[in-house]
């Protein structure tokens, strides 16, 4: 049990990433029309340090919000969350500016105490979830599958941050394929930087070999680097941009996989304009995915049995896509939607 507790503590510390205000502002600027008259819940945030709470509180009137709720998990082990100095888990409620200065002041923010620990899975937090229209937060990466499942169960709109690897989770990919969830506006090729607790910062700093890959130093401050992206079911304009295709199919440039009934496309920009069959493309395709233009058929079997919808040759002993015996990285399988595509003149 002691080892299990240590593992949980380690996960909790690694999950304690604080999203930078600049990243929140950059992404949220594309969804303004979704928030008018809505109740927003940030249910994985320390209200006192959360930039999500700060963003929505200071933009409450600008967005036309109805209500803002922010909850925080309160660990029984005080070492898990260094910023937590409260003896009880709390949740904050903000209903907008009352004194006319357009600044959220302490006397305008309602402070409520949980009976429990404030875990997003608790009955108390679920009651707040039921009251919310849109959930916006950075949930613990180690609980991402469970977190998304809860949002779907309660049929909530959401805008959340998760690992890029979550795209191919067996609990997540079917939602993407069914157009119940998609990536946000921020390009998938841009890694996000996060603020972290001081002790975690010192751990990273001591590992000089990890500099650049695990962390970066910005103006003398350690920022954790993470291959993270936004996931949402709120519509945005980028999702309907048409990908202009200019290359034509030829079997030499687009070989078939040895073990998948699809052709290989190494770059999204190289998707052929005249091929009607199934194509294997990098996961970064989701950056350009327009559901009116393409259909997602499946993904590689190594990330969940059955995801390729029969494209995988079950006689193959290797689930990764093979081209001439060489392994390819993870692939999403697509084909042109019935509406077709426009070819660059």
Residues 264-285: what's their mean pLDDT?
Answer: 96
Q: Judge contact between 102 and 61, C-beta under 8 A.
A: yes
Neighbouring residues of 138: CB distance < 8 A, sequence distance ≥ 6: 17, 18, 19, 44, 45, 52, 160, 161
Q: By CB neighbour count within 10 A (0-12 exposed, 13-18 middle, 19+ buried), where does 95 fall?
A: middle
Q: Look at residue 285 and give its three-state secondary structure.
A: helix
Q: By CB neighbour count within 10 A (0-12 exposed, 13-18 middle, 19+ buried), where does 50 fall?
A: buried
Q: Judge contact between 290 and 296, C-beta under 8 A.
A: no
pLDDT at 29: 96
pLDDT at 62: 95
Distance CA 207, CA 211 (A): 7
Neighbouring residues of 238: CB distance < 8 A, sequence distance ≥ 6: 30, 185
323: β partners: 326
Distance CA 252, CA 255 (A): 6
Among 101, 28, 26, 35, which Cα is nearest to 64's?
35
pLDDT tens, position by position, 36-67: 999 999 998 777 678 999 999 999 999 999 99
pLDDT tens, position by position, 67-89: 999 998 764 333 333 344 556 78
Q: What are phi and psi of 123, to 5 degrees?
A: -60, -40
At CA 107, angle to CA 106 and CA 111, rounded to 5?
75
pTM of the entire predicted model:
0.85
Helix and strand counts by DSSP (H, E) for the chain: 9, 18
Q: Judge contact between 63 and 28, C-beta under 8 A.
A: no
Residues 141-150: what's their mean pLDDT?
Answer: 94
Distance CA 244, CA 321 (A): 26
pLDDT of 331 strictly over 90: yes
Q: Look at residue 212 and give its three-state secondary structure.
A: coil
pLDDT at 20: 87
Distance CA 204, CA 226 (A): 13
pLDDT tens, position by position, 153-209: 999 999 999 999 899 888 999 999 999 999 999 998 887 877 766 666 666 666 665
Q: Which two tokens stand for residue 120?
A: 């997003």
Q: In what order do the strands lie in the sheet with 215-218?
A: 18-19, 192-195, 221-226, 215-218
pLDDT of 18 strictly over 90: no
Task: Spell out where the chain has E strands.
Answer: 18-19, 39-42, 67-71, 90-94, 109-113, 134-137, 157-163, 182-183, 192-195, 215-218, 221-226, 228-232, 263-264, 279-281, 294-299, 322-323, 326-327, 332-336
Q: Which two tokens stand for residue 147?
A: 């977190």
Among 306, 224, 198, which Cα is nearest to 333's?
306
- Chain-wide mean pLDDT for the chain? 84
pLDDT at 207: 62
Give the whole-number percent of the chain exceeding pLDDT 70: 80
303 — pLDDT class (breaks 50, 70, 90): low
């Amino acid at each position: 049990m002691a080892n299990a507790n240590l593992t949980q503590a380690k996960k909790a510390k690694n999950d304690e990433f604080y999203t930078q205000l600049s990243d929140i502002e950059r992404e949220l600027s594309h969804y303004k029309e979704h928030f008018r008259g809505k109740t927003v819940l940030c249910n994985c945030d320390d209200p006192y340090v959360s930039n999500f709470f700060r963003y929505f509180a200071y933009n409450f009137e600008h967005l036309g919000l109805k209500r803002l709720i922010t909850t925080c998990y309160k660990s029984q082990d005080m070492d898990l969350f260094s910023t937590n100095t409260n003896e009880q888990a709390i949740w904050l409620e903000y209903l907008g500016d009352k004194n006319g200065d357009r600044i959220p002041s302490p006397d305008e923010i309602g402070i409520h105490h949980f009976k429990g620990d404030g875990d997003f899975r608790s009955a108390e937090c679920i009651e707040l979830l039921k009251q919310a229209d849109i959930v916006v937060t950075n949930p613990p990466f180690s609980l991402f599958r469970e977190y998304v499942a809860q949002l779907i169960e309660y049929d909530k709109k959401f805008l959340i941050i998760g690992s890029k690897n979550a795209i191919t989770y067996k609990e997540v990919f079917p939602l993407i394929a069914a157009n119940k969830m998609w990536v946000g506006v921020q390009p998938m090729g841009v890694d996000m930087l996060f603020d972290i607790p001081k002790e975690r910062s010192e751990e990273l700093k001591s590992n000089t070999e990890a500099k650049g890959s695990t962390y970066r130093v910005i103006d003398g401050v350690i920022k954790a680097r993470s291959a993270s992206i936004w996931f949402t079911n709120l519509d945005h304009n980028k999702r309907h941009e048409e990908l202009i295709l200019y290359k034509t199919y030829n079997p030499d440039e687009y070989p078939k996989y040895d073990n998948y009934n699809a052709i290989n496309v190494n770059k999204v920009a190289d998707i052929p304009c005249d091929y009607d069959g199934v194509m294997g493309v990098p996961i970064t395709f989701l950056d350009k995915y327009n559901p009116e233009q393409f259909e997602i058929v499946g993904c590689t079997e190594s990330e969940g049995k059955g995801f390729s919808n029969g494209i995988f040759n079950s006689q193959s002993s290797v689930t990764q896509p093979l081209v001439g015996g060489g392994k390819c990285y993870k692939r999403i399988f697509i084909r042109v939607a019935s509406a077709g595509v426009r070819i660059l003149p």
